[in-house]
Structure 1
Amino acid sequence: MKIDELDVRIVELFSEDAGIGVLAASRLLGVARATVQSRLDKLRAAGVVQGMAPTLNPANFGYPVMAIVSIEIVQGMGHVPVGTALREIPEIVEMYTVSGDHDVMVRVVARSNDDLQRVLDSVSSASAVNRTRSVVVLQTHFQNRVLPLFAHVGGAAERNAE
């Protein structure tokens, strides 16, 4: 899919304020409302934009501790049973199957270090989990940083057109 500078500007606007609305965005961008709407529709249909949901920060509603946990699963079980079991733990906010020494990586949040221990015990008790290793995140420098990449792609399209 071709992404241009207008697509980038639209996505940036809605990323900064998901509730801005198409009409307000069109006024700020100096383009027709229908143009903004059709661009958003095109980006959604292509799966580039997957929603306009609010971004939640667990630290701001009582979960300031974060850890990255690597999980080795029981051989022969596959990743589906571990995914099913871990989905039941609400403090697990991301899960990835990975290559390398471990089979799964998860990002977990907790209310405190003691609460983190409880969450890790829940992870370890899943029948498909053989072993875990965890590291506590001390500071988040950035996360979910996709907008600069999207802007780069949109800018590259403009440069290639010249």
Structure 2
Amino acid sequence: MAAPKIDAVDVKLLALLQRSADRHLAELAEAVGLSQTPCWRRVQRLRQDGVITANVALLDRAKINLGVTVFVSIRTNVHTPAWFERFKATIDLIPEVVEFYRMSGDVDYMLRVVVPDIAAYDRVYKRLIQDTQLSDVNSSFAMEQLKYTTALPLSYVG
């Protein structure tokens, strides 16, 4: 499927919505130089085209007792579809895993895990290795978050 056509006005709308998705339509329309109806249609088209995938509330992890971030690199010697499906099902059942990637290079998979403390991570680790054959699990605890954003760069659109 071809990428949706996105023009400069769409890019402005996306930039505004990435910073705050609860902006009023009138505010969005004024910021991009449109009346409300064409602005609303553009936002709806961006949703229908799958450019906007969700509107969510971002939470302060520290205020909900999830102040520890752990990056987990995983290696395995098994690379069968059946093994992967079982591994993915295990990961899907662990809510503390907030990101899950298949990697190139020396590491097969990378996880980002959020927990309140090391003891909670140990429980996640035990669930992770319980039903899955892994050859190496390496955990790195983030000491300080220096940059975090959910906003994607829009300079590549076009």
Q: TM-score range by the shorter chain?
A: 0.7 to 0.9
- Pair 1:82–1:125, CA change in 2 (3 A): same
**Which residue of 2 is the match for residue 17 of structure 1?**
20
- Pair 1:57–1:94, CA change in 2 (3 A): farther
**Which residue of 2 is the match for residue 129 of structure 1?**
134
Identity among equivalent positions (%) equals 24
> Which letter maps to 1:2?
K
Cα RMSD of the aligned pairs, angstroms, is: 2.1
Map Cα deviations across residues 97-154 of structure 1 (whole Å, 9 max, x no partner).
Answer: 122222211100111122222222221223243431111112223345543x21x135
Please report how far the alpha carbon of residue 16 of structure 1 lies from its aligned counterpart in structure 2 after TM superposition: 2.3
Q: Which protein is richer in helix relative to its size?
A: 1
CA contact (8 A) 2:72 2:110 kept: yes
For 2:73 and 2:93, locate their aligned partners in 1 and report how far apart those are by CA, in whole Å. Answer: 17
CA contact (8 A) 1:85 1:126 kept: yes
CA contact (8 A) 2:18 2:151 kept: no
For 2:25 and 2:124, locate their aligned partners in 1 and report how far apart those are by CA, in whole Å. Answer: 41
CA contact (8 A) 1:66 1:136 kept: yes
- Pair 1:141–1:5, CA change in 2 (3 A): farther
TM-score if structure 1 supplies the norm length? 0.81
Gaps in structure 2 of 5+ consecutive residues: none
Correspondence for 2:91 among 67, 83, 86? 86
For 2:52 and 2:112, locate their aligned partners in 1 and report how far apart those are by CA, in whole Å. Answer: 23
For 1:122 and 1:74, locate their aligned partners in 2 and report how far apart those are by CA, in whole Å. Answer: 19
CA contact (8 A) 1:69 1:105 kept: yes
- In the TM superposition, what are the counterparts of 1:11-50 in structure 2 within 5 Å? 11-50=14-53
Please report how far the alpha carbon of residue 79 of structure 1 lies from its aligned counterpart in structure 2 after TM superposition: 1.9
Whether 1:8 and 2:4 are equivalent positions in the alignment is no
> Which letter maps to 1:110?
V
Aligned-partner SS, 1:78 = helix
- Pair 1:141–1:3, CA change in 2 (3 A): farther
For 1:42 and 1:153, locate their aligned partners in 2 and report how far apart those are by CA, in whole Å. Answer: 20
TM-score if structure 2 supplies the norm length? 0.82
Whether 1:67 and 2:73 are equivalent positions in the alignment is no
Gaps in structure 1 of 5+ consecutive residues: 158-162
**Which residue of 2 is the match for residue 102 of structure 1?**
107
Aligned-partner SS, 1:82 = helix
How many residues are matched? Answer: 153
**Which residue of 2 is the match for residue 160 of structure 1?**
none
